[in-house]
Amino acid sequence: MTVTSATRPSTIVQSEAAHFGKMAAEWWDPKGSSAMLHRLNPVRLGYIRRAVDSHWGGNRASFAPLTGKRALDVGCGAGLLAEPLARLGAAVTGLDAAPENAAVA
């Protein structure tokens, strides 16, 4: 994943970015500080899948319904949503204010 810095004024709250950046090592631990995100992920992926199938008339049996589509995950953390979207076929761009999180993704 490429990490870049903006040259324009930012709306990023550095203390918040630092807080979530400190969690980088724990993002992928399903019993760690992000446990609820891990539990929520199947629900939100199911919702996204149904919305994609409904909007684009996708094949519900397809294992890669997002093939040929792009997804933007703003505030992606370590990629808990971005990575499954990529497995579903999407070309995903993940953005996060904490470089530590992007590095973990």
pLDDT of residue 30: 93
Terminal-residue alpha carbon distance, the chain: 7
User: Would you list the domain boundaries of the chain?
Assistant: 14-104
Encode the chain (105 residues) as per-residue pLDDT tens digits.
555 565 777 888 888 877 777 777 888 899 998 899 999 999 999 999 889 888 888 777 778 889 999 999 999 988 999 999 999 999 999 998 988 888 887
CA distance 16 to 64: 34
Q: Cα 91 to chain center, whole Å?
A: 12
The pTM of the full predicted model, rounded to 2 decimals, is 0.78
Write down the CATH number for the domain with range 14-104. 3.40.50.150
Helix, coil or strand: residue 92 = strand
